[in-house]
Structure 1
Amino acid sequence: MSPTTPSRRSVPRALPVLALLAVCAVTACSGQDSPSAPPAATPAASAENAGAELHMIENDGHRLAFYVMRGDSSTIVLDSGGGESSSQWKDIVPRLHAATRATVITYDRAGLGKSDVVPGPWKVESAVGDLKAGLKQLGVTKDVILVSHSQGGEIANHLAQDNPEMLSGAVLVDANLPQFFTDEQIPRLVAAGRPAVDAAKKDPAKPENRQLIATAEGFAAAHRAFHEVTWPGSVPVTVIVSEKTPFDGSPVDARRWRDAAASFVQAAPNRKLVTAEGTSHDVPAERPDLVLQEIEDMFAAQH
């Protein structure tokens, strides 16, 4: 399948296969430095981000929308799945803020929500750079708890490998993990996703189609490289895996998805595996209470 982006709206919109490649949700927490001149804040115009301040962050020639719900010194950052804007977390953010009293941050990746479109193929290095730039400009530089859904798992793994000092913990929600993207699995994904990519190219102006096309470009090479990424042993992590997986119709792929999660967790003693029973890939929408509980548990363990 060509690069896919799993998420509750992207899957029905494009194809379940797409959900596989873009698993992501991110939470960052606590201990940030205060910037001397933070980006200007305005009330978020959208009801989906009610109660949050909108900060337009500039990085590498484009602007990104970060939404900040102020709390105590700790911070939780939520990173959405592939093809999803920050609105994926609209029902979870206020509950998480009330339960932890932390500052909660969500954001729109390039080309989604209020963030600028960046032409060309989707590159995880650029996505990591955008997230780091936004957090730095908001004063978040350490003690981050990262919670990522779907494609966000790729951003989380790269960020953790290269900047372990930023993270105090993570929760990966049915996320893309390096162990899944083997030399045997990648061609299966490319083949499965090709019809959806071809259909998307007929209407490339649609945001979801644009994201799918961008993810598909260079997918095989990018995910061969992703397979070599290593999560640092110093960062504790909880992995939530969906029971049905993004591959409910393919027993082979579903087993490999679950095996990848188990292999990831078994690599270090400070990792925990949780199965979201009865769920499809869209765990945040179908089991928000479970996601909230695991984030709260990780947050409490680090404070």
Structure 2
Amino acid sequence: MSRTTPGRRSVTRALSGLALALLSVVAGGLAACGGQDPAPGPASSRSATASASPPAGQAGETKLHMIDNGGHRLAFYVTRGNGSTIVLDSGGGEYSTQWKDIASELHAATGATIITYDRSGLGKSDVVPGPWKVEGAVSDLKAGLDQLGVAKDVTLVSHSQAGEIANYFAKDHPKMLSGAVLIDANLPQFFTDQEIPRLVAATQPEVDAAKKDPEKPENRQLIATAEGFAAAHKAFHGVKWPDAVPVTVMVSEKTPFAASPEGAQRWRDAAAAFVKVAPNRTLVTAAGTSHEIPTDRPDLVLKAVEDLYASHH
């Protein structure tokens, strides 16, 4: 399949997060653009923990833990290691499988515990009715870490829409983080009063189409993320990353706005502005990549995470 879909797909991800991959499903582009495995349905078991690989005690084993947060369950996948933890948080509409080419290699390279998870309504995690709210996503991540016994020394690796979760999580729980890698991520500096209306207008045709069949899962997700987008991102624009938490910001060469030179430049400028705030922030351009850096060039992601991890271990 041609690579004509990713530009539109990536713009929508930057806009509404969960809407991106789901719109690509409608366009028939998910397999070509994201490389994702088919999403399993919501888990039906009420057990707290289910084995996702070999029996407990084997090196490099990954286990599925079903975490309860306020009555809905979320699927967390854990490969146990030493006392430090690397959390891989997927881009909008992506599942934990986004990290299939990265997680095991990170575990082998660092010895750290590796955690991936499916956000609500995706993969094995339960659907949460109503509009998608970043505060709920932060609460889900924090509940998962709490119930898994993770309280400190976390390296957070966040792609695209997960950058919003990372910024709020860092603001609320800075002492839990030893560092972060933000991969072509949504950053507060991008969502200005001028940019937000442009983004809302760009996605409105897809939202209107989705409302004609609101029970379809991908449409439900799109509608949920579009509701209240402007107000939510006006608030996001004011979020401040804590100065004490080091961060590497990786920007794709093409950006989510490959078809718009002006939009692409605003995306790059926002990343540069974010990095300039503190001396412990590093800007990296991932040469030759689209917005899908984790699948385009997992080696670059591995290097960025390993370098940041080594700097504080």
Same fold (TM over 0.5): yes
- 1:100 has 2:110 as partner: yes
Residue 234 to residue 297, structure 1, CA distance change in 2 (3 Å): same
- Picking from 206, 224, 231, the partner of 1:221 is 231
SS at match of 1:295: helix
- Picking from 137, 142, 145, the partner of 1:135 is 145
Distance 1:146 1:83 in 2: 18
Distance 1:291 1:91 in 2: 10
Q: Which runs of structure 2 are paired with 1:35-74 in the superposition (5 Å)?
A: 40-44=48-52, 51-74=61-84
Contact 1:262 1:273 in 2 (8 A): yes
Distance 1:197 1:297 in 2: 40
SS at match of 1:15: helix
Deviates more, 1:64-73 or 1:261-270: 64-73
Residue 151 to residue 212, structure 1, CA distance change in 2 (3 Å): same
Distance 2:196 2:7 in 1: 22
Deviations 1:41-76 (A, max 9, x none): 32117xxxx941010000011000000011122211
Contact 1:169 1:236 in 2 (8 A): yes
- Picking from 199, 214, 217, the partner of 1:207 is 217
- Counterpart in the other structure of 2:122: 112
Contact 2:96 2:116 in 1 (8 A): yes
Deviates more, 1:76-85 or 1:13-22: 13-22
Q: Which runs of structure 2 are paired with 1:1-303 in the superposition (5 Å)?
A: 12=6, 15-21=9-15, 40-44=48-52, 51-303=61-313
Q: TM-score, normalised by structure 2?
A: 0.84
SS at match of 1:260: helix
1:136 Cα deviation from its structure 2 partner = 0.4
Report the AA paired with residue 43 of structure 1: S
1:223 Cα deviation from its structure 2 partner = 0.1
Report the AA paired with residue 19 of structure 1: R
SS at match of 2:86: strand
Distance 1:181 1:269 in 2: 23
Contact 2:49 2:65 in 1 (8 A): yes
| Structure 1 alignment gaps of length 5 or more | 1-8, 25-38
Contact 1:51 1:69 in 2 (8 A): yes
Residue 233 to residue 92, structure 1, CA distance change in 2 (3 Å): same
Distance 1:86 1:262 in 2: 28
- Counterpart in the other structure of 1:28: none
- Counterpart in the other structure of 2:25: none
* CA RMSD of superposed structures (Å): 2.1
Contact 1:146 1:170 in 2 (8 A): yes
Residue 207 to residue 89, structure 1, CA distance change in 2 (3 Å): farther
Residue 201 to residue 16, structure 1, CA distance change in 2 (3 Å): farther
Contact 2:13 2:92 in 1 (8 A): yes
SS at match of 1:268: coil
Residue 184 to residue 14, structure 1, CA distance change in 2 (3 Å): closer
SS at match of 1:203: coil
Distance 2:78 2:186 in 1: 26
Residue 12 to residue 243, structure 1, CA distance change in 2 (3 Å): closer
Contact 2:48 2:65 in 1 (8 A): yes
Contact 2:7 2:258 in 1 (8 A): no
Deviations 1:249-273 (A, max 9, x none): 1111111000000000001000000
- Moved runs in structure 1, 4+ residues, more than 4 A? 11-14
| Structure 2 alignment gaps of length 5 or more | 19-46, 54-59
Distance 1:23 1:294 in 2: 23
Residue 180 to residue 57, structure 1, CA distance change in 2 (3 Å): same
SS at match of 1:107: strand
Distance 1:140 1:207 in 2: 32
Tell me the number of residue pairs that the alignment of Structure 1 and Structure 2 aligns.
Answer: 277
